[in-house]
Amino acid sequence: MVDLESAQLPAGTTSTAFLGLDNEQLASRSVRSSDSATVEGVGIAVGHATDGAMVDMNSGEVDNEKLPAEDGNNTDGSNALPLTVDAEGNAVVWDWATDPANPYNWSKGRKWAQVASFASVGFTTSVGTSIMSPAHTDLMLEFGVSSTAAILPLTFYVLALGIGPVVIGGPLSELVGRHRILLFGTPIGLLFTVGAALVPTSSLAGLCALRFFAGFALSPSLAIASGVLTETFRPVERGLPVACFIVTPFLGPGMGPVLGAFATRKGWRWTEWTIVFFAAFSILVTIAFGRETYHPVLKRRRAKELGIALPAEDRRPHITWPQRIHGFLTVGLIRPLHMLVAEPIVGLSCLYVACEFATLFSFFAAVPYVFQVTYGFGREESGLVFVSIIVGSVLGLLTVILTDVFIYKKRQVPRFHPNSPPPEHRLYAAMIGSFGLPIGLFWFGWSGYHRAHWISTVLAIVPFAWGNICIFISLMQYMGDTFTGSFVASSASANSLARYSLASVFPLFTIQMYEKLGINWASSLLGFVAIALLPVPWLFFKFGERIRAHSRYT
């Protein structure tokens, strides 16, 4: 069996280096403790590691006034590179931890700009999952296909969201950086979406293929965002930005049917043009605010800019193409699958999230069926029902924020200071929200079955969406705090693969399930699954420390 921990690390190679390009000739000058080489002609101020004072490299004099400002620049506007220096002013060690180029040291505004950049693309991507659902009847009539076949464009798009992060999300972003993936992937996704809007009516297969490649190109934004947030925010700062980003995969599917219901008035193709408009806006946001956050890439750029050599542990050795392919297959593809089946934390978290996502996506078929058959709603009215998902998602986000502020930060952080609290203390919102899923599903099914007032059935979706958000965000935070380095990206890839693969097939048989079992028992079946998975966050909270002690990846 391949050792997935050591396979990526031949002879001092990091996981990033193992997937890296050829070694760059960064500079001819190095920063070493074994000689007295100085950084000549750089003309910058450098920080002394022992007292934080700034030392002018030309004069060697200490100036306590020139300390780095919050945005990474000195108060006099010069760019600071923290180095340890000896008594003669010779550079000895480069201190990346206090370097202003380190995303941890960026200003709050610059950090949140990265959240906005990824959230805009993530929202666009997730809107695409559901915006075509109101056009289901139009697709049947225009392409002359069955009800199940008309759902295939949605299925292929969602399936691509599961495959894309595993193939190009984590591995490629560790090769070329996070920002480039976003900068080039979004325009490519836009072009495929334009193709989907222009596809001839004789080719449903062409529409499915174009939707698949559009989702494939847009998908990395949903996976590598976890890495970006981990690289930009320190653990104690991470709760709010993670919560704000992760809510987008739920706001998008909730907003998609609302937008699609009205866009379809002009024909189903306008659902695709709507995505094009969102994608164009996302590209502008990415260009304006997006920055590279992947630390190995930033270190190489910084060292090259200043004409110094990287520390030995950060240098990438020469990697042959067979080694790159082996690393890609082992680290990029096999390891997420291995973590999915061998790591209880990853496996159970992904199972829970995948089932809740699949249930959410089944609503794209169930809600129009229930409200059109039972309550006589039209297409636009059925689309507006999905506003309840948005309401529940916002309430879930508020729950996560409140538990993060009042329980995690105010109680647990001081309790475990100076260390970070154990990852299990990220699970409070998940434990609370685990009750929302079965409550909402049973309420939805039996309210619709007894033809209660339509507002009751609409409100039933709110606790379901609320619980979804609480569970999803908490479990993603839990895995982010449990694993380190590239293992975080692998766990996120495994999560994306599981949840979107299962979610892609559920709408194909949802209507048949509701027709045969009835609204009451079809929804109850999903509710029983939610009850079976309810103990997962509680078990992690109780036994998580023991599970982590036996993990190969923590």
Chain segment 523-533, per-residue pLDDT in tens: 999 999 999 99
Phi and psi torsions of 485, nearest 5°: 60, -140
pLDDT confidence of residue 376: 93
CA–CA separation, 359 vs 493, rounded Å? 20
**Nearest 10 degrees: CA dihedral of 15, 81, 178, 326?**
-20
pLDDT confidence of residue 170: 66
**Which tokens belong to 132?**
């075509």
Do the domain assignments include residue 84?
Answer: no
pLDDT confidence of residue 491: 86
pLDDT confidence of residue 88: 53
**Which tokens belong to 368?**
């129009």
Do the domain assignments include residue 501?
Answer: yes
CA–CA separation, 396 vs 293, rounded Å? 28
Do the domain assignments include residue 21?
Answer: no
Annotate 371-399 with DSSP letters as a single string. Answer: HHHTS---HHHHHHTTHHHHHHHHHHHHH
pLDDT in tens, 239-264: 788 878 878 777 888 899 999 999 99
Annotate 302-345 with DSSP letters as a single string. Answer: HHHHHT-PPPGGGPPPP--HHHHHHHIIIIIIIHHHHHHHH-HH
CA–CA separation, 293 vs 37, rounded Å? 30
Classify strands 54-56 and 45-47 as parallel, antiparallel or unpaired.
antiparallel
pLDDT in tens, 367-397: 999 999 999 999 899 999 999 999 999 999 9
Task: Identify the three-state secondary structure at position 14.
Answer: coil
Task: Identify the three-state secondary structure at position 452.
Answer: coil
Nearest to 177 by CA among 289, 288, 287, 294: 294
Annotate 145-176 with DSSP letters as a single string. Answer: --TTGGGHHHHHHHHHHHHHIIIIIHHHHHHH
pLDDT confidence of residue 313: 63
Residues of the chain with pLDDT under 70: 1-94, 169-171, 311-318, 485
pLDDT confidence of residue 152: 94
Please name the helix (run of DSSP H) or strand (run of DSSP E) that holds residue 120, with its range, or none: helix 108-130
Do the domain assignments include residue 166?
Answer: yes
Do the domain assignments include residue 520?
Answer: yes
Asked if the bond preceding 418 is cis, omega within 30° of 0, the reply is yes
What is the CB neighbour count within 10 angstroms for residue 362? 23
Do the domain assignments include residue 19?
Answer: no
pLDDT in tens, 185-219: 999 999 999 999 999 987 899 999 999 999 999 98
Do the domain assignments include residue 443?
Answer: yes
Count how many domains the chain has. 1
Residue 373, domain CATH: 1.20.1250.20
Residue with tokens 């690390």: 9
Do the domain assignments include residue 6?
Answer: no
What is the CB neighbour count within 10 angstroms for residue 321? 7
pLDDT confidence of residue 466: 97
Cβ atoms of residues 168 and 161 within 8 Å = no
pLDDT confidence of residue 82: 58
Annotate 43-54 with DSSP letters as a single string. Answer: --EEE-TTT--E
pTM of the complete model beyond 0.85: no
Please name the helix (run of DSSP H) or strand (run of DSSP E) that holds residue 92, with its range, or none: strand 91-94
Q: Domain of 523?
A: 103-300+315-549
